[in-house]
Copies of this chain bind each other. A is one copy, B any other.
Amino acid sequence: MGTNKKILQRGIHKIILKGKEQGTIMKKSVGAKTLLFPTPVLMVGTYDQVGKPNLMNAAWGGICCSDPPCVTVSIRKARYSYANIEKHKAFTVGIACESKMAEADYVGIVSGRDVDKFSVSGLTPVRSEVVDAPYAAEFPVVLECRLLHTFEIGVHTQFIGEIIDVKADVEVFGEDGQLDIMKIKPLIYDTSHKGYHGVGPLLGKAYTVGKELQS
């Protein structure tokens, strides 16, 4: 290692392939940026200090533990949802979907300090009966979370929520009784061009397509 790469000029790296493929690959440095693909479109539901339901749009998050089942969302201190989570020690995570793209985007444009986002967007707030947080009925899947940990990282604080229950619309289950991603139609956020994409068809099964390479 180390011998198969040559820095040709500032930011361009020529790599000689030594594996299955022949030839070279040219990689360009783009600096220290948050470029990950894909990122999710998470609808974070909270109650504010007086109990008004709020919803924000977060792309910085994901599953972080299988047991206890946990999801993380990172939120800036300046965001209205920040103090909401601190007060109620709970939040929900709705999965934004294609048919609710405008609503999902809207809650990321305005602040709950200024408006009642549920009222303006026409979404229906529902009080979780397992945690002290609301969710929007119109999103097909929702994770109801109690705050487990709060980690300060930098401009973002990471909230880790233990998933107490997941609720999903009866229409998004497959015939096998499991959630069907092609019925959920979750949005994907492209951090590079700030665009929303859909999910394409199944390409292969995990723990299966790689078996052909086993020696």
Contact = CB atoms under 8 A, between A and B. Distances in A.
B137 A15 contact: yes
Q: Give how many copies assemble into the complex.
A: 2
B141 A35 contact: yes
A191 to B, nearest CB: 7
Given A154-B68, A204-B195, A101 B29 contact: no
Interface centre among A39, A62, A215 (most CB of B within 10 A): A62
A153 interface: yes
A185 to B, nearest CB: 9
Contact of A39 (B62, B110, B179, B211): B62
A72 B72 contact: yes
A19 B203 contact: no
Which of the four size classes fits the interface of chain A? Answer: 35 or more
A165 B207 CA distance: 30
Contacts of A155: 65-67
Contact of A180 (B67, B168, B192, B212): B192
Given A105-B206, A153-B160, A205-B194, A62 B40 contact: yes
A18 interface: yes
B143 A35 contact: yes
A7 B129 CA distance: 10
Interface string A74-109: 100000000000000000010100100111111111
B170 A37 contact: no
Contacts of A178: 192-193
21 contacts: A1-B53, A1-B134, A4-B137, A5-B126, A19-B138, A21-B124, A30-B168, A31-B166, A32-B162, A32-B165, A60-B65, A61-B64, A63-B191, A66-B156, A108-B206, A121-B213, A178-B193, A180-B193, A196-B205, A198-B200, A199-B199
List the 4 closest A-B pairs by CB distance, nearest first: A20-B122, A105-B210, A106-B210, A62-B62
